[in-house]
């Protein structure tokens, strides 16, 4: 069994204490249970917290003990989610099991960043294509329709880019 240091939001710690009182179990046992349930993708048994993580800056520190098997499982999960440490994976798992607004793994965030970059590149490519078509007079273009279509595409790209940016920002602040 290994000892680890976790930092946890005050409201999450209070929630853990509430579970502790109701179940008459230790916080370590509760956290181990949450990790077990989460690893089995069955985390619907808890009333989840809906507060955003950064609302309350008061943090509590907790320590948990894990068996070697639990630690190795958590280590495997952390590697598959591209977390650099088991502690980050434990925090991610715990926070995700307590909150209604789920976090994304580092791999998912990287994919969001790549998607946002590709979406922006599409807009630039459309503009370059339009310049070439207009420059060589290859095709008759209804400028009003084309302008409206391009503006519509640009607006949708901006909306998607903003949404992905917010997802990335929120997740970076939480873990």
Of 63, 95, 89, the residue nearest 75 (C-alpha): 89
pTM of the model: 0.40
pLDDT tens-digit readout, 32-71: 787 777 777 654 554 555 544 445 567 778 888 888 998 9
Other C-beta atoms closer than 10 Å to the C-beta of 164 total: 19
State residue 101's pLDDT score.
66
Beta bridge partners of 99: 49
Beta bridge partners of 50: none
Say which CATH architecture domain 2-98 belongs to. Orthogonal Bundle (1.10)
Residue 85 has pLDDT above 60, yes or no: yes
Q: How confident is residue 22, by pLDDT bands cut at 50, 70 and 90?
A: confident
State residue 56's pLDDT score.
52
pLDDT tens-digit readout, 93-109: 887 777 776 677 777 77
The whole-number average pLDDT for the span 155-164 is 79
Domain ranges of the chain: 2-98, 106-174
């Amino acid at each position: 069994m290994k000892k680890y240091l976790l930092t946890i939001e005050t409201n999450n710690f209070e929630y853990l204490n509430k579970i502790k009182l109701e179940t008459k179990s230790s916080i370590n046992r509760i956290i181990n249970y949450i990790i077990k349930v989460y690893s089995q993708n069955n985390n619907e048994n808890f009333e989840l917290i809906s507060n955003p993580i950064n609302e309350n800056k008061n943090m509590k520190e907790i320590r948990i003990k894990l068996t070697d098997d639990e630690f190795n499982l958590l280590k495997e999960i952390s590697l598959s989610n591209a977390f650099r440490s088991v502690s980050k994976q434990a925090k991610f798992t715990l926070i995700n099991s307590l909150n209604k607004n789920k976090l994304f793994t580092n791999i998912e965030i990287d994919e969001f960043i790549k998607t946002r970059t590709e979406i922006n590149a599409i807009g630039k490519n459309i503009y370059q294509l339009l310049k070439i078509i207009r420059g060589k007079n290859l095709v008759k273009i209804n400028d009003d329709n084309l302008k409206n279509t391009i503006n519509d595409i640009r607006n949708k790209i901006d909306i998607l880019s903003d949404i992905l940016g917010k997802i990335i920002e929120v997740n970076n602040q939480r873990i």
